[in-house]
Chain A
Amino acid sequence: MVKSSTARKLNEIESPPRLKRAAFGDGPPPVRPNLPILNNARLAVIMLLAAELMFFAGLIGAFLVFRLSATVWPPPFQPRLPLGVTGVNSLILLFSALTMHWAVIAGGAGMTSKLVRQLGLTALLGALFLFIQGYEWVRLVHFGLTTSSSVYGGLFYTLIGAHGVHVFGGLIWLLTVCWQAKRGRFTKTNFVGVQTARMYWTFVVALWPVLYGLVYLY
């Protein structure tokens, strides 16, 4: 018994692993690769975005109550919102989603310099959007629209301000990912950081036309 086990052990050592595999089916089944269905980071971002969507749904629900119950909207003696400038600003934000998409394509192709450039451009467009929004806010406050001036002002600053905070958060996220990309953190096969940043940025961009339509146009 001892001899046979010893002999088998020696035989196993001598034969390379490739030869142990049966050529036509007799032998152990091949090991199935355990591919994950969805990356854990992406799943976590999906959960985060679901919570964010419910947060904004609550704010939009509150807006609908006040907007639909009001006979005159905007209320009298309140400044009108700047539609044109904010419309152009919306186009800037929408274009940033396109540059973010190009960044993900560059990440998938392993083109690090293009990835950094597109991420930087996206962050720049996001910063420009925030700057124009801030400038318009200063003008609106100067014209008398504040959070305490009316329900209209309170709703406007709450909804648009919450979105602005999210854009700012996305901007920090983008700059972090851009810095990581510059340091060579991402490869052609592993760039999940860029993908999750794209998910969040797409959410922020896609939310804006809804808010613009509700608050500015409706």
Chain B
Amino acid sequence: MRANFLLSISFGVILSPALARACAVCFSGDDDAVTHAFNWSVGFLLAAPYTIGGTIATCLVIAYRRAAARRAALEEEQAMGQLIWTEEESAK
């Protein structure tokens, strides 16, 4: 009985969302300035984390590539140093 009552209320809310006040900022029409303001603000706040995260990821990728290039250059330098035949090594 209680389950049926809750189910009927839920169904009624689905049919009439205005009763539930599901959207806290849906208090004006589509062409209202407040609606546009909220849309722009929500759009800005949605884009912000992706922009910041993307920028940081790009910086990390650039830093990784630079570090890899530095490491490769260092290894190449060490390999060249290893090929030099010294007098001490010739006596080994």
**Among candidates B38, B71, B85, residue contacting A32 with C-beta atoms closer than 8 Å:** B71
Interface of B is mostly: helix
Smallest CB separation, A47 vs chain B (Å): 8
Q: Looking at the complex, which one of A16, A30, A62 makes contact with B41 (CB distance below 8 Å)?
A: A62
Which listed residue (A18, A23, A50) contacts B52, Cβ 8 A? A50
Contact assessment for B92 and A19 in the assembled complex, using a CB-CB cutoff below 8 Å: yes
Q: Which residues of A contact B37 (CB under 8 A)?
A: 64-69
The digit string for A21-61, where 1 denotes a CB below 8 A from any CB of B, is 10110000010110111100000001000100110011011
Which of the residues A21, A32, A68 comes within 8 Å of B33, measured between beta carbons?
A: A68
A4 adjacent to chain B (CB < 8 Å):
no
Asked whether A54 and B52 contact (CB < 8 A) given A35-B71, A61-B41, A64-B44, the answer is yes
B30 at the interface (CB under 8 A from A): no
Q: Tell me, rounded to whole Å, the shortest Cβ–Cβ distance linking A192 to chain B.
A: 14
* Closest B residue to A34 using CB positions: B71
Contacts of B59 in A (CB 8 A): 46
Q: In the complex, what's the smallest C-beta–C-beta distance from A26 to chain B, in angstroms?
A: 12
A148 part of interface (Cβ distance < 8 Å) = no
Given known A46-B56, A57-B45, A61-B45, contact A37–B63 (CB-CB < 8 A) = yes
The answer to whether A53 touches B48, judged by C-beta atoms less than 8 angstroms apart, is yes
A189 at interface (Cβ–Cβ under 8 A)? no
Select from chain A the residue with minimum beta-carbon distance to B92. Answer: A19
Q: Is the CB of B41 within 8 A of A65?
A: yes
Q: Which residue of chain A is the closest to B70 with respect to CB atoms?
A: A35
Contact A35-B67, Cβ < 8 Å, known A46-B56, A61-B41, A69-B33: yes
Q: Is the CB of A23 within 8 A of B89?
A: yes
Query: Closest residue to A62 on the B side, CB-wise?
Result: B41
Known contacts A36-B67, A64-B40; A30 and B45 CB within 8 A of each other: no
Q: Which A residues fall within an 8 A CB radius of B? A: 16, 18-19, 21, 23-24, 30, 32-33, 35-38, 46, 50, 53-54, 57-58, 60-62, 64-71
Closest 10 CB pairs of A and B: A68-B37, A69-B37, A57-B48, A69-B34, A37-B67, A64-B41, A61-B41, A61-B45, A65-B41, A65-B37
Ordered by A's residue number, 10 sampled pairs between the chains whose C-beta atoms are within 8 Å are A23-B82, A32-B71, A36-B67, A37-B60, A37-B64, A37-B67, A38-B67, A68-B33, A69-B33, A69-B37
